[in-house]
């Protein structure tokens, strides 16, 4: 350590001496050290370097006014099939996940108890019909021999006939009821759809009060999506519906990137939900490829209106200051062009694009990024463009 201390001290003294000599030389010659940094020149002591930006062209096109929401897939029909009679389940005719049509057999309940009940009802009906036929013959005899019988006998015979007619009518109802109970032993599908997992196996005793039922049938084609629209968007939707327009609805996956199905708006609810401030809407989809499934959450995009031939600019190019919207218009085609701040009026916004109703013309070029570094008359540099040569015939040097 002692060896290097004298050497370091000598270097410091030598450096200080050279600095002093250089300062004295400058003072004697009257020269100044050239400035270094951003204040080397230009207005206000700053370098007036162009700001590099990218541009966009004002174009005329179509703008779709859309409303985005979160929805849930709901089946148009979902039926839990329960037995109408109590008995032992003998057969299950469907398989889990089967696509079934209305009227096809689902299950069979033991019909023997109901066959016996039907026989009893039919026997009671036959007996009462015979009694009625005999009562009618007696009434006919009394009527033919009216002079030989009393009025009371004649009236009693007529009342007996009426009584037996009522009995026969009740017996016929019992027979029909027994036949209906027997028919209920053969369970069929009430709607067309897809059968879910089997809730009960053959051999169990089933009844009307079973919560799981015999099968659950869900209609998947067509299918619907329920979603909520903010109350601020309801007037536009209601106006379009009142004109008879068919509003297109698109269902996307959870990430909102892949479209699952396209359908039409089917119905609007009759009141706004006070807790969420939204109105529930139902859209219907053909669901031919079955990409929508009940209780599935999807992102919904409802197209309310399609405006034709409007001026469009990127939404990111529109700035807001004191409730005034403005853009920076690029002047000139050279690399050292400038920008001019121009106030505009906007219309509908569709995410990436904004409608311009006043202030711009189709074909004009505006700044698309770097807007925070721009002011009126700022020089800009547009990558990919070169300043035109002073002499058009001059060839670039190699």
**What range does the domain containing 277 cover?**
67-76+219-308
CA distances from residue 207 to 192, 235, 371 in whole angstroms, order as listed? 23, 50, 73
Q: Are 251 and 205 members of one domain?
A: no
Residue 342: which CATH number?
A: 2.40.420.20
Shared domain check, 349 and 338: yes
Predicted pLDDT of residue 26: 45
pLDDT in tens, the chain (398 residues): 444 444 334 433 444 444 443 434 344 444 444 444 444 444 444 556 788 888 999 999 988 888 999 999 999 999 999 999 999 999 999 999 999 999 999 999 999 999 999 999 999 999 999 999 999 999 999 888 878 888 898 899 999 999 999 999 999 999 999 999 999 999 999 999 999 999 999 999 999 999 999 999 999 999 999 999 999 899 999 999 999 889 999 999 998 889 999 999 999 999 999 999 999 999 999 999 999 999 999 999 999 988 888 999 999 999 998 889 999 999 876 656 899 999 999 988 887 889 999 999 999 999 998 888 888 888 888 875 544 444 444 344 43
What is the side-by-side order of every strand in the sheet holding 193-195? 78-81, 215-218, 193-195, 99-100
Among candidate residues 159, 184, 209, the one where a domain is terminated: 184
Rounded CA separation 241/243 (Å)? 5
Per-position DSSP letters for 364-392, written without gaps between them: -EEE-S-GGG--TT-BEE-TT--PPPSST
- Does residue 156 sit in the same domain as residue 133? yes
Q: In what order do the strands lie in the sheet with 186-188?
A: 186-188, 105-109, 87-92, 205-206
| H/E element, 141 | helix 112-144
Q: Is the peptide bond before 222 cis (omega within 30 degrees of 0)?
A: yes
What pLDDT score does 335 carry? 59
Q: What local confidence, expressed as pLDDT, does residue 332 receive?
A: 75
Is 192 found in the same domain as 101? yes
Q: What is the DSSP letter of 49?
A: P
Residues 253 and 155 in one domain: no
The per-residue pLDDT for 357 is 92
Q: Is residue 24 part of a domain?
A: no
For the chain, the domain total comes to: 4
The answer to whether residues 368 and 261 belong to one domain is no
Domain co-membership, 133 together with 161: yes
Q: Are residues 190 and 316 in the same domain?
A: no
CB under 8 Å to 67, separation ≥6 — which residues? 229, 230, 233, 236, 237, 301, 302, 304
The pLDDT value recorded for residue 149 is 83
Is 198 in the same domain as 313? no
In a domain, 358, yes or no: yes
Assigned domain for 121 exists: yes
Q: What is the CATH number of the domain that holds 118?
A: 1.10.287
pTM of the model: 0.67
What CATH number does the domain containing 199 carry? 2.40.50.100
In a domain? residue 393: no
In a domain, 175, yes or no: yes
Q: Are residues 175 and 56 in contact, defined by beta-carbon separation less than 8 angstroms?
A: no
User: Do 102 and 200 reside in the same domain of the chain?
Assistant: yes
Q: Quick check: is 276 in a domain? A: yes
In a domain, 13, yes or no: no
Residue 102: which of 180, 196, 187, 206 has the closest Cα? 187
pLDDT of residue 300: 96
């Amino acid at each position: 350590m002692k060896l290097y201390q004298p050497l370091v001290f000598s270097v410091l003294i030598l450096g200080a001496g050279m600095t002093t000599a250089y300062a004295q030389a400058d003072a004697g010659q009257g020269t100044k050290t050239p400035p270094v940094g951003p204040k080397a020149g230009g207005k206000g002591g700053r370098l007036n370097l162009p700001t590099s930006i990218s541009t966009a062209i004002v174009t005329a096109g179509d703008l779709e006014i859309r409303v985005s929401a979160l929805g849930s897939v709901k089946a148009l029909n979902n039926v839990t099939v329960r037995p109408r009679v109590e008995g032992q389940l003998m057969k299950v005719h469907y398989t889990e996940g089967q696509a079934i049509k209305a009227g096809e057999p689902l299950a069979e309940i033991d019909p023997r108890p109901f066959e016996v009940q039907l026989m009893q009802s039919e026997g009671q009906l036959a007996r009462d019909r015979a009694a009625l036929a005999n009562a009618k013959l007696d009434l006919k005899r009394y009527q033919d021999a009216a002079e030989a019988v009393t009025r009371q006998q004649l009236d009693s015979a007529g009342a007996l006939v009426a009584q037996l007619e009522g009995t026969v009518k009740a017996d016929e109802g019992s027979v029909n009821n027994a036949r209906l109970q027997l028919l209920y032993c053969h369970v069929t599908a009430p709607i067309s759809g897809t059968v879910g997992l089997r809730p009960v196996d053959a051999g169990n005793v089933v009844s009307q009060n079973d919560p799981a039922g015999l099968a659950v049938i869900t209609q998947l084609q067509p299918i619907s999506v329920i979603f909520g629209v903010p109350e601020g968007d309801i007037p536009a939707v209601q106006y379009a519906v009142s004109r008879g327009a068919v509003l297109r609805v698109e269902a996307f996956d959870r990430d909102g990137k892949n479209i699952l199905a396209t359908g039409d708006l089917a119905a609007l609810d009759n009141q706004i939900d006070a807790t969420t401030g939204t109105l529930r809407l139902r859209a219907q989809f053909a669901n031919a490829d079955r990409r929508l499934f009940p209780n599935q959450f999807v992102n919904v995009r409802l197209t309310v209106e399609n405006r034709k031939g409007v001026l469009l600019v990127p939404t990111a190019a529109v700035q807001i200051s004191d409730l005034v919207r403005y853009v920076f218009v690029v002047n000139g085609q050279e690399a050292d062009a400038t920008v001019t701040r121009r106030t505009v009026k906007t219309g509908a916004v569709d995410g990436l694009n904004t409608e311009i109703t006043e202030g711009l013309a189709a074909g004009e070029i505006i700044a698309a990024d770097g807007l925070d570094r721009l002011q009126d008359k700022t020089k800009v540099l547009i990558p990919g463009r070169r300043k035109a040569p002073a002499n058009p015939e001059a060839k670039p040097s190699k």
